[in-house]
Amino acid sequence: MPRHFLFLKLAYQTGMCLLALVAVTLAAIDLTSEAAEWEVTADRVIYWIFVLDYVVRFSISRSKWLFVKDHVWDLLAIIPFDVLFRLFRFASKPRAVRAARPRTSCC
């Protein structure tokens, strides 16, 4: 691989790691105190950079299923927590409905 490609790959990985560190720092600030407007905006911009990164890498991958399988943590990282929790709540409702249904005994 040519040296400039190695440099670009290293720059990309370094940039993504720095964005992840900033995102974690912003999340910690948000948990300990109310985040300022610029912190919320920076967090949203970083989130959309991660979403765009995943979508681009997914779209250029040759095997889509293998990409998702190999990058499942990246996918989970870009799903907002509230959506994830709603999905879990929705998935558990059929069990709750079945448990609450009156039982009829035939014998």
Give, in order, the Cα–Cα distances in Å from 47 to each of 14, 66, 67: 17, 23, 20
- The secondary element (H helix, E strand) that includes residue 87 is helix 81-100
Rg of the chain over Cα atoms, rounded to whole angstroms, equals: 21
Looking at residues 20-45, what average pLDDT do you find?
88
Report, as an integer, the average pLDDT of 60-80. 91
Q: At which residue do the structure tokens 């799903």 appear?
A: 79
**The pair of three-digit structure tokens given for residue 99, joined into one six-digit string:** 């448990």
In the structure, what pLDDT confidence band is assigned to residue 105 with cuts at 50, 70 and 90?
low
Is the predicted pLDDT of residue 96 greater than 70, yes or no?
no
Rounded Cα distance, 47 and 79, in Å = 10
Quick one: pLDDT at residue 106? 57
Work out whether the CA dihedral 84, 17, 44, 65 comes out positive or negative. negative
